[in-house]
């Protein structure tokens, strides 16, 4: 997480995502998105995770 926080300081408009085995999605105070791996893959495959 320390690396993502530093990345966010350099690139404040970048979306920061961590994929874990956690039970539910959450967003940290500094706007890092924590995704359960199943939900991440479902949204990725459905094309809803990233907009073009």
pLDDT category, 52, cuts 50, 70, 90?
low
DSSP assignment of the chain: -HHHHHHHHH-TTS-EEEEES-SS-EE-TT-EEEEEHHHHHHHHHHT-SS--
Q: What pLDDT, in 10s, does the model give residues 19-47?
A: 999 999 999 999 999 999 999 999 999 99
Q: Structure tokens of 6?
A: 């530093």
Sign of the torsion angle spanned by Cα atoms 51, 20, 25, 23 = positive
- At residue 40, the pLDDT reads 96
Domain boundaries, the chain: 2-46
């Amino acid at each position: 997480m320390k690396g993502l926080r530093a990345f966010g300081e350099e690139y404040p408009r970048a979306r920061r995502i961590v994929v874990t085995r956690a039970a539910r999605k959450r967003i940290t105070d500094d706007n890092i998105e924590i995704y359960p791996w199943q939900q991440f893959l479902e949204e990725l495959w459905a094309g809803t995770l990233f907009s073009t």
